[in-house]
Structure 1
Amino acid sequence: MVRRLGVPEELRMPPPHLLFQRACDRLGVQRLALFADDDLEREVEQQVAELVAQGCSSVVLQGLIELEHFLDQVGAECLRRLRAVPGAAGSQVAHQREGAGEGGVGHGTLEFNPFFALHLHITARSFRAPVNASPSGRDARAWVEVDLAAVVENARTVARVAGTRLLPVVKANAYGVGAVAVSQALEALDPWGYGVATIEEGAELRAAGITRPVLVFTPARNDLFDGYREQRLTPALGDGRTVADWIARGARGGAFHLEIDTGMGRSGVRWDEVEPLADLLDTPYLEGCYTQFHSAERNDGSAEQQLERFRLAVGRLARRPALLHVANSAAALKGGSFAFDAVRPGVYLYGGSPGVGLPEGKPVVSVRARVVAVRRVRAGDSVSYNASWTAARDTTIATLGIGYADGLRRSLGASGRAQVLLRGRPCPIIGLVTMDLTMLDVGDGPATVGDVATLVGSADGGGGAITLEQFAAWSGELQREFLTGLGPRLPRIYR
């Protein structure tokens, strides 16, 4: 029943996920013979078989949750027979699951229990912010709602204005929205590929069945080259030594994109230092070149200056790469002058405002939290840590089940401007936001435990709205900063 798999000790992916991926890739349905020694319910075996047969499809996670519910119904005796599944302390490079072979020098061992499937949806939280599409998500203390149709419509707008193909940026779990769900929704628009920041993020897309090119924008390290190959990822290279080392791999490396620094000053070959590398870059492996604008949302001429530097740098190459791309959301929405062969929309896809005078996108994200406590306080009573707010009058305080551990700024209530919508009424956030809870001054208005407050989005049930731009401003954050800060405890609910 129990099979030993040698797994490198340095791996940090939760073993249930690691072993499930290996089961999907190599074990196959026929390995269910391993279950024969256990006198479990026939229907349990059948459901596990169906899950393995699905491979790495996007519905597997939901299927595992349904399987757990079924096992609960089977009864305590069945659950008692489940063997423990080892946990893991942190995140893990998903592509390294191929290293989970039989034994080997310097490898530890893990107990492989085929019923680790029961634990996957729990341990998955340790390596990826949850993507919970279950209707039960609204029963949580707080959650994030994502309108995928709006994401697609915003992407269509960018493509129409720019007049070229899309290279959607889905790094940082698609700015906290959910990289897998967003990428799968955008497949309908036939993008060139997707942009991520790390090998792990690219591996997540591959595991979800995304086959288009995936460009990893963080400058590549030589010691991670094998990871790009294993996951069929395209690296961004930005210095001569790394380019030479990548090209030396030949077909074991493959395509790469050259980053050209035109003023961002963070990584890439300087625009005026490309010519000495021209001979080295005269290779079919150079698939693309790109740059990053530092202030595309401003009308100060800086983007145009960077664009001219980029053109000069590319002109010094022996051959023009197939894919030139420079435009982020703001530049792409300025029209075709920044378009080239693809544009890289990011925050605009997720409902962020691209800048003054540019087309506004459809709202994508709503953040909601339930009232978990209601109390009446008297004039002079204090609220929150450091007695950071004092009631000027008798009033009602409603406490929301969301705090700074979920992505809110601790100082959000300090200015007296930040508010949420409760029963369609704006109610100010008061005092310091605590780790798990946030307090509102409801005044003499109604509030009941279980009521739903809206922090971002249209009020639950109608009656006003708070934009992402407005709430981020109250928080003293960029819109993308607020989105990526939404914590893993908040289920994402897709509609």
Structure 2
Amino acid sequence: MSVATLGAGARVTVDLGAVAHNTRTLAARARGELMAVVKADGFGHGAADVARTALGAGATWLGVTGLGEALALRAAGLTAPLLSWLNPLGEDFAAAVRQQVDLAVPSLAHLAAMPPGARVHLQLDTGMARDGAAPGEWGALFEAAREAEASGRIVVTGVMSHLAGPETARAVRSFRDGIAAAFAAGLRPRVCHLAATAATLTRPETHFDLVRTGAGLVGIDPSGGDTALRGAMTLTAPVVEVRRVPAGTPVGYDHTWRAARDTCLALLPVGYADGLPRAAGPWAEVLLGGRRCRVAGRISMDQIVVEAGPGVRIGDTAIVFGPGDDGEPAVGDWAAWAGTLPHEIVTGLGRRPYRHVIGGL
């Protein structure tokens, strides 16, 4: 056995050219404006980089979950309209007003907590029983919002909801009812928005004035369709050890894998602490030496072993996942092996892999 000299370990490459391509594709599908949702650090791709790229490629709004994410974008110099939609009552809403961040209001309590000058999007539950005011609360919320707006304390910029997936037609009807009730109460929101990436691509009747796309910006198509979105992230790792082993050699914790024949094993310094889902182990593959190589044994915290082909050497680079253009596994493959969503793979990467950004406008 030989060991590689110290050097770079796992590496994440983010392709902003792919983000720009995906934004243009999504903007072409949208019937109204497009919000680039860059929550969770731009789905693990870098919030500020993804935001700038998306704005340059057709997005007109930015969206995040928490106010902290929104203020970080403002600190990075991004001045586009920006919405934050999941905040506890104790949040510093005055900071949102100072930084011109719109806020979602899902309840009367949140409305009461809005400081003077707040720009709000009234958030309605249309079938998820998650965030947003329940239908029975809409009338009171609209009336209170009208009074607050009439007094000059707030501006009602939007009305919003979110689709659960099933029963989309029912949710659309419910949202239309909510918009009508808001107008009947005397409100005049500028943007009504319901659709996320999947509905942006497949359900134009859900688009209204604005669509919110996040996963699609980085190449994830939750609709399962074929829309030519391009994966924007590649994870690679170098080979740090190689060894020849005889048939029957066990590998890793609990010896869940044994060599079926005399073979070559390669060790890669990437594991579940870097975001590889441990549950994917029995099926996972990487691209190494021009061929798919199966993970041998369990995925460990810091490393995986793969059954490599002939000629693999220390210092060779394995593609753990990427766009799939060269036969490497895609993020969706890792999600399928782990029984999860691609979103969880890209947002779950740890801080250890070196980050490299390419492309852009």
Query: TM-score w.r.t. structure 1 length?
Result: 0.66
1:105-120 maps to which residues of 2 (within 5 A)? none
- For structure 1, which segment, 223-232 or 357-366, has the greater mean C-alpha deviation from structure 2 after superposition? 223-232
Structure with the higher helix share, 1 or 2: 1
Pairing 1:384–2:252 present: yes
Q: How far apart, in 2, do the equivalents of 1:230 and 1:490 lie?
A: 36
- For structure 1, which segment, 186-195 or 286-295, has the greater mean C-alpha deviation from structure 2 after superposition? 186-195
* Aligned 8 A contact 2:97 2:119 in 1: no
Q: How far apart, in 2, do the equivalents of 1:141 and 1:420 lie?
A: 16
What per-residue deviation string (whole Å, max 9, x for no partner) do you get for residues 409-448 of structure 1?
Answer: 123222xx321110111110111111111110115x2211
Partner of 2:290: 424
Q: How far apart, in 1, do the equivalents of 2:41 and 2:91 lie?
A: 24
Cα drift, residue 449 of structure 1: 0.9
Partner of 2:85: 217
Cα drift, residue 335 of structure 1: 4.8
* Aligned 8 A contact 1:222 1:242 in 2: no
How has the CA–CA distance of structure 1 residues 151 and 170 changed in structure 2, closer, same or farther, with 3 Å as cutoff? same
What per-residue deviation string (whole Å, max 9, x for no partner) do you get for residues 331-366 of structure 1?
Answer: 011253111111101111111123234524122111
Cα drift, residue 379 of structure 1: 2.0
Partner of 1:161: 29
What per-residue deviation string (whole Å, max 9, x for no partner) do you get for residues 258-301 of structure 1?
Answer: 11011111121113431133321212611111111111xxxx5x
Partner of 2:4: none
- Tell me the amino acid that sits aligned with residue 168 of structure 2: A
1:185-224 maps to which residues of 2 (within 5 A)? 185-224=53-92
Q: How far apart, in 1, do the equivalents of 2:264 and 2:225 lie?
A: 41
Name the SS for the 2:159 alignment partner: strand
Q: How far apart, in 2, do the equivalents of 1:475 and 1:448 lie?
A: 28
Q: How far apart, in 2, do the equivalents of 1:458 and 1:233 lie?
A: 34
Q: Matched residues, percent identical?
A: 36
Cα drift, residue 189 of structure 1: 3.2
Q: How far apart, in 1, do the equivalents of 2:323 and 2:201 lie?
A: 25
Name the SS for the 2:37 alignment partner: coil
What per-residue deviation string (whole Å, max 9, x for no partner) do you get for residues 134-183 of structure 1?
Answer: xxxxx621111111111111111111112221111100000101101111
Pairing 1:288–2:151 present: no
Partner of 1:152: 20
Extract unaligned runs of 5+ from structure 2.
Answer: 1-6
Name the SS for the 2:23 alignment partner: helix
Partner of 1:271: 135
* Aligned 8 A contact 2:232 2:323 in 1: no
Extract unaligned runs of 5+ from structure 1.
Answer: 1-138
Pairing 1:479–2:342 present: yes
What per-residue deviation string (whole Å, max 9, x for no partner) do you get for residues 58-84 of structure 1?
Answer: xxxxxxxxxxxxxxxxxxxxxxxxxxx
Q: How far apart, in 2, do the equivalents of 1:159 and 1:419 lie?
A: 34
Pairing 1:326–2:194 present: yes
How has the CA–CA distance of structure 1 residues 163 and 263 changed in structure 2, closer, same or farther, with 3 Å as cutoff? same
How has the CA–CA distance of structure 1 residues 436 and 357 changed in structure 2, closer, same or farther, with 3 Å as cutoff? closer
Pairing 1:452–2:322 present: no
Name the SS for the 2:143 alignment partner: coil
Aligned residues: 343
Name the SS for the 2:202 alignment partner: coil
Q: How far apart, in 2, do the equivalents of 1:230 and 1:485 lie?
A: 32
Cα drift, residue 305 of structure 1: 1.0
Q: How far apart, in 2, do the equivalents of 1:184 and 1:265 lie?
A: 33
Pairing 1:492–2:355 present: yes
Partner of 1:309: 174
* Aligned 8 A contact 1:150 1:363 in 2: yes
1:85-100 maps to which residues of 2 (within 5 A)? none
* Aligned 8 A contact 1:162 1:335 in 2: no
Name the SS for the 1:279 alignment partner: helix
Cα drift, residue 229 of structure 1: 3.0
How has the CA–CA distance of structure 1 residues 164 and 244 changed in structure 2, closer, same or farther, with 3 Å as cutoff? same
Q: How far apart, in 2, do the equivalents of 1:492 and 1:307 lie?
A: 40
* Aligned 8 A contact 2:220 2:343 in 1: yes
Pairing 1:396–2:264 present: yes
Q: How far apart, in 2, do the equivalents of 1:277 and 1:457 lie?
A: 46
Name the SS for the 1:349 alignment partner: helix
Query: TM-score w.r.t. structure 2 length?
Result: 0.90
Alignment match of 2:213 (pick from 333, 345, 352): 345
* Aligned 8 A contact 1:216 1:234 in 2: yes
**Higher CA-based Rg:** 1
